[in-house]
Amino acid sequence: MDNTLSSLQPQAIWKHFAEICKIPHPSGHLDKITEYIMQFGKSHGLDTYRDEAGNVIIRKPATPGMENRCPVILQGHMDMVPQANGNVKHNFKTDPILPRIDGEWVTAQETTLGADNGIGVSAILAVLESDELKHGPIEALFTYDEETGMYGAIGLKPGELQGKILLNTDSEQDGELYISCAGGIDVNVSFRYKEEPYTPQNEVAYKVILEGLHGGHSGVDIHLGRANANKEMFRFLKEVVSAHEARLAFYEGGTLRNAIPREAVAAVTIPVEEKEDFLKTVDIFADTLKHEYGYIEENLLFRAEEANLPLSLIPEPIQDDLINAVVACPNNVYRMIPESPEVVETSSNLAIVKTSGGAIDISILVRSSSESMKMALASSLESVFSLAGARVEFSGAYPGWEPNLESPVLKLMEEIYPKVLGRKPEVKMMHAGLECGIIGSAYPGLDMISFGPTIKHPHSPNEKVEIKTVADFWKLLVAVLENIPEKK
């Protein structure tokens, strides 16, 4: 079997995705992918430019006879989440993604694939390139740095776009049409202190490691009961500080605000006479985690290995306040939507905890489809860490997307879906953040919908996209563009 993307259909999408995989494009490092898309638009003779926020906008005229159709915005984001398994050395700023076919899926070799949102971007490029599709006027909007803060969507100015319908390509379940999403806010916590010089007094140091967790998207996967590496490591630290006089010298857990943390490392010292009991506690805690999470986290590993003694320690009062606050920190699903109890309304993700030279920085992402509940949970987190003496700031707030059950494009897609794919779609609300809410706030009245192929485990090295659903996604997109109604 040909194990390259060239063997897959529709080639109109897969050929572009293969090229995107070759181009490094993690969040914050989008110069190369931006240039690629800019050159693509210009090489096809299309009106192409970059706005002040870094978004790329490409306009394609209507095909003959379709000039009077309502103009459509096709939207996707250019960046991908950079995550690799701990044993893999992959520089996302310079190294290509290595996709491979695994049965009915496309995945990557030990890293995130970037199907989120590379498949959607590839579909938009395919529409722009085609001389055969029938469609009205099209504006392609490729947004900048969606994954780290939706900065491109936030920076999009009113009046930049003329389209009346927006098709977002960033949802991840075949058979579902999304008409709303959660908003979010970042809770940024910082402790500042003077490092305590360390003079060993018959002590030994250990590096404690938790790894092998699934992690995943903190919106899409937050309800699945997966372990959060930071929460579990601090649960352990509280125990060994109390039972074995452990002192914390260093900590690092999590890498991205919107990814459930998969790994954490802590460096601790203990009295030599506590060594044997400490190692027993490590083994017991490992067994506890496997008992609690074994069905979900089948690759979980928790261990301690002897290390060099550190040069300094976190002062004991700061250490204790930090541990108590993280253990008390609300994390995971906070509330389901009362009217739709199968959908998460409000959640928080204790994403990053990191110590460095007199500083401890913590990043938490709160999501909610309720603005009041979003701020209530953010306030609760602020209280927990303020009581521990930390500084707490909010940033990156973005609105949710309110559902519109009378949406004309929703009614169109509900009508077209069974004709094209032989089945009815489900209309859904999403807990993950989409740029629709932000774009909609700048363009009131914009008719929006989100759809896409099935992508499993986004924001983790287990990310994969189902091949057959990419073909269905393409059929649906083509049919919708062909049936967009005339301007009123």
Q: Which residues are the active-site residues? A: 79, 146
CA–CA distance, 285 with 273 (Å, rounded to integer):
20
* Burial (0-12, 13-18, 19+ Cβ within 10 Å), 239: middle
d(CA 147, CA 179): 20
Number of Cα atoms under 13 Å in the Cβ half of residue 246? 29
Rounded Cα gap, residues 215 and 363, in angstroms:
16
Tokens 């903190």 map to which residue? 218
CA nearest 336: which of 177, 223, 221?
Answer: 223
Residue listed under structure tokens 């929460």:
231
Dihedral angle computed from the Cα positions of residues 97, 105, 219 and 350, in that order, rounded to the nearest 10 degrees: -60
Core vs surface per residue 361-378: b (16+ CB within 10 A) or e: ebbbbbbbbbeebbbebb
CA distance 226 to 262: 9
66 token code pair: 């379709």
Handedness of CA 188, 194, 195, 200 (dihedral sign): negative
